[in-house]
Amino acid sequence: MFRAVQGTPRRRALVRIALLLVFVNPIFTCAFAFLAHQNHPDVALGITTLFSFGLCAVLSVWVRSDAKHAWQDAREWGFVSPGAIRRGALVRVRRDCPRRWLVVLHVELQGGLAAPA
């Protein structure tokens, strides 16, 4: 029987971030390589590789920061209960939360379990 993502909540969240990076990074890297080659035909492969690694770092920090801010907003507007995350504890996130997937991601990154409310 197939289970999509197993393991701890934190591991599931990190897998989600990695999958997002796997799908988004090549698009931006190809666009960068195309534009760099148009402007400087002798641009080195190392520059494109460096851009790709840098983009992964920036995107992962950005997504995690966005998830944290989504959590803070959801807590402020009453979309989650309880208002604190404890490792292994259940946090209910209302279905009408505007940035629900980011809130769930933040809860899982902190080791909590997210459930629909």
State the Cα–Cα distance between residues 80 and 66, nearest whole angstrom: 17
Top-confidence residue, 3 or 32: 32
Question: What does residue 82 show for φ and ψ, rounded to 5 degrees?
Answer: -70, 175
19 beta partners? none
Helix runs in 1-117, H state only: 9-39, 45-77, 100-109
pLDDT digits (tens, 9 = 90+) for 49-90: 999 999 999 999 999 999 999 999 999 999 998 777 877 778
Q: Tell me, what's the pLDDT at 7?
A: 66
Put simply, whether the predicted model's pTM sits higher than 0.85 gets the answer: no
Question: What does residue 104 show for φ and ψ, rounded to 5 degrees?
Answer: -60, -40
State the Cα–Cα distance between residues 20 and 105, nearest whole angstrom: 12
State the Cα–Cα distance between residues 106 and 80, nearest whole angstrom: 12
**DSSP for residue 4:** S
Is 31's pLDDT higher than 60? yes
State the Cα–Cα distance between residues 53 and 74, nearest whole angstrom: 32
Three-state DSSP at 47 gives helix
Is 3's pLDDT higher than 60? no
